[in-house]
């Protein structure tokens, strides 16, 4: 038994990490909503405004992540393994980074049109953010709510599979119909960024699953 786990049996668990995880996901939920607005917007100047908001949210999220790392350095007894606290914070932060990257690509490339499949993937990213926020709100009660949390993790996995299918279908459609090579490259890079973003959401849920297994 690792020393962290041993002490957790006898010492009051530190709860300060839970609200910080929630703060991370609350920022991400807003960023995902702004991403949807950006992809629906055709005016380049208004797109830039949404991108600016997302960039500011990324900075805000970075500060919360840094606070988690700082608190971890000052905390002796943690609610679960120290490494997992760090990994979870890092993967949540990476999810936000990828939302920012998808927004950046949409603004920089400025495709002539935004295909409905891309909007659908953005909707899935919004759903990921919503479910993950629900998951981190339950983390404090992970032993009592493990089954509920696992079901929500399964939803994240289902979304990732749906987006994988959509990604393949869109690329096939793109290469069959898009005759403008520049537009093809634009759309290919944008859809790749969106698909990668849903992968990062699954990384978070996988980390939570691992924590549940270790605590069992």
Cite the DSSP H helix spans in the chain: 3-8, 17-40, 44-74, 82-109, 116-138, 146-177, 181-215
76: pLDDT confidence band, cut at 50, 70 and 90? confident
pLDDT tops 90 at residue 77 = no
pLDDT tens by residue, 106-154:
999 999 999 999 999 999 999 999 999 999 999 999 989 999 999 999 9
Token pair belonging to 207:
């980390």
43 in helix, strand or coil?
coil
CB 23 within 8 Å of CB 90? no
**Contact between 25 and 133 (Cβ < 8 Å):** yes
For residues 12-27, average pLDDT? 87
In sequence order, the 6+-apart residues with CB closer than 8 A to the CB of 213 are none
**Cα(137)–Cα(140) distance, integer angstroms:** 7
Mean pLDDT for 58-87 is: 93
Q: How many separate domains does the chain show?
A: 1
Q: What is the CATH number of the domain that holds 61?
A: 1.20.58.220
Q: How far apart are the first and last CA of the chain?
A: 13
What's the confidence (pLDDT) of residue 3? 44
Q: Which tokens sit at 120?
A: 């659908």
Q: 112-125: buried (b, 16+ CB within 10 Å) or exposed (e) per residue?
A: eebbebbeebbebb
Residue 54's pLDDT is 98
- Residue 4 pLDDT > 70, yes or no? no
Q: Which domain holds residue 59?
A: 3-215
Which tokens sit at 100?
């920012």
Of 42, 90, 85, which Cα lies nearest the Cα of 214? 85
State the pLDDT confidence band at 80, using cuts at 50, 70 and 90: confident
Question: Which sign does the torsion angle of CA 186, 189, 195, 201 carry?
Answer: negative
Q: What is the pTM of this model?
A: 0.92
Please state, in angstroms and rounded to a whole number, the distance separating the CA atoms of residues 74 and 88.
18
């Amino acid at each position: 038994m690792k020393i962290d786990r041993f002490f957790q049996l006898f010492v009051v668990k530190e709860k300060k990490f839970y609200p910080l995880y929630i703060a991370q996901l609350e920022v991400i939920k807003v960023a995902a909503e702004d991403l949807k607005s950006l992809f629906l917007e055709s005016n380049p100047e208004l797109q830039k405004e949404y991108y600016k908001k997302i960039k500011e949210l990324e900075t805000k999220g970075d500060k919360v992540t840094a606070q988690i790392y700082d608190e971890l350095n000052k905390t002796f007894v943690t609610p679960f393994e120290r490494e997992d606290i760090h990994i979870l914070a890092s993967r949540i932060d990476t999810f936000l980074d990828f939302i920012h990257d998808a927004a950046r690509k949409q603004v920089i490339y400025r495709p002539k049109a935004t295909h409905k499949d891309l909007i659908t993937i953005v909707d899935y990213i919004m759903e990921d953010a919503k479910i993950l926020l629900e998951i981190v709100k339950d983390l404090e009660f992970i032993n009592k709510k493990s089954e509920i949390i696992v079901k929500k993790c399964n939803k994240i996995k289902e979304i990732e599979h749906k987006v994988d299918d959509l990604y393949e279908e869109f690329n096939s459609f793109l290469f069959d119909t898009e005759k403008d090579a520049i537009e093809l490259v634009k759309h290919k890079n944008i859809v790749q960024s969106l698909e990668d973003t849903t992968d990062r959401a699954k990384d978070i849920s996988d980390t939570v699953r691992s924590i549940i297994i270790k605590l069992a």
